[in-house]
């Protein structure tokens, strides 16, 4: 089964896709967080034959919901309803920071802050974390 990973943000959303076996997540793309987001993700779910979605569970350092958590859950509820796929949540603590530190294709060890591919890489980290715990 193939999975879609989502690193939800208020301005942009990182997306990752798993391999066909559902073993590992790979960065896909970054899309704007807009009112059309759920529709765009439903189209991607259909086009890529996605069987389940994994959304980063946004928490503060004390373990409670942060301001993004409610919007991320609303997106998950919308996707489950509209696309008819199960939606799971995976802790996303520090995934963006971890993605920034990952080496790039050019051998650089740090992506610039605000670099769009970082969000897709963070989504891949979230997705791979979920898949490794549930394989």
Structure tokens at 55: 């959304």
Residue predicted with more confidence, 125 or 104: 125
For residues 6 and 1, what is the distance between their CA atoms, to the nearest angstrom? 17
Crossing angle (nearest 10°) for helices 69-83 and 37-47: 50
pTM as predicted: 0.85
How high is the pLDDT of residue 94? 52
How high is the pLDDT of residue 109? 44
CATH number of 2-12+30-133: 3.30.420.140
What pLDDT, in 10s, does the model give residues 74-102?
A: 999 999 999 999 999 999 865 655 666 65
Helices (H), the chain: 37-47, 69-83, 95-101, 116-133
What pLDDT, in 10s, does the model give residues 42-52?
A: 999 999 999 99
């Amino acid at each position: 089964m193939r999975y879609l990973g989502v690193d939800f943000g208020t301005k942009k959303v990182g997306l990752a896709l798993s391999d066909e076996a559902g073993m590992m997540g790979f960065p896909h793309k970054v899309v704007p967080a807009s009112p059309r987001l759920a529709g765009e993700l439903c189209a991607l779910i259909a086009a890529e034959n996605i069987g389940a979605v994994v959304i980063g569970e946004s928490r503060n350092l004390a373990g409670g919901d942060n301001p993004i958590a409610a919007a991320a859950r609303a997106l998950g509820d919308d996707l489950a309803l509209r696309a008819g796929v199960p939606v799971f949540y995976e802790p996303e603590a520090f995934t963006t920071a971890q993605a920034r530190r990952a080496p790039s294709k050019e051998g650089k060890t740090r992506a610039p802050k605000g670099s769009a591919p970082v969000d897709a890489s963070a989504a891949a980290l979230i997705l791979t974390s979920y898949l490794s715990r549930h394989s």
